[in-house]
Amino acid sequence: MKFIHLVDPSIDVINKLKKTIKDSYIPRKEIIKLHYKKEQEVVLEKDSKIIFIAGMGGKEIGKILQHLILQVTANDRFVISPHRNILELREFLASSPLRLVDETVINEDGQFYQILCLCLNDGLSKISQFGHKIWMGPLGEEYRAHQLKRYEHHQDPLSRKFLAFLTDFSS
């Protein structure tokens, strides 16, 4: 039996979700399970799974991944979408045992969001520090111009390295 598990440490979010699901026309509501806890406290089951972690900062996502990596197999997938601290998160990912299945960037209401699909399969490429495919897709050039502007006055070494990468990427 397949389940959808939704995890959140905010009781308000859990209660709102409960009501949204109850009032919705979603078929087979019984397969949706709500968990009032932090994702760092989750104990995974053995079946293959896709774990979505979205809408949080990169530091929080990094902590969650460190906890969950120990419980997944090569058949499992992570789909992550950090809202902040992407450079720091990608630096952590590049040195982790995770590998890249795919990466893309989307634009929602004028905001860009990277989405990465990751797994533990050694046969796949390592995650590059600043990304590769995200700069090549249909939004790549627009995203690059946006990031150049966003980081232009940052002085910390990681941001300077990122700016140099973005500048080189066009040439």
Ligand X SMILES: C[S@@+](CC[C@H](N)C(=O)[O-])C[C@H]1O[C@@H](n2cnc3c(N)ncnc32)[C@H](O)[C@@H]1O
Q: Which residues are near ligand X by CB under 6 A?
A: 7-10, 13, 38-40, 54-56, 60, 64
Smaller CB separation from ligand X, 39 or 76: 39
The Cα-based distances of 23 to 5, 16, 31 in angstroms read 18, 11, 16
Q: Which residue is nearest to ligand X (CB)?
A: 55
Q: How far apart are CA 57 and CA 120, in angstroms?
A: 22
CB 14 → ligand X: shortest distance, Å? 9
CB 123 → ligand X: shortest distance, Å? 30
Smaller CB separation from ligand X, 86 or 166: 86
Q: Single out the residue of 75, 144, 157, 83 nearest to residue 115, CA to CA.
A: 83
CB 166 → ligand X: shortest distance, Å? 25
Smaller CB separation from ligand X, 13 or 117: 13
CB 7 → ligand X: shortest distance, Å? 5
Buried b / exposed e over 58-95, threshold 16 CB at 10 Å, is bebbbbbbebbeeebeeebbbebbbeebbbebbbbbee
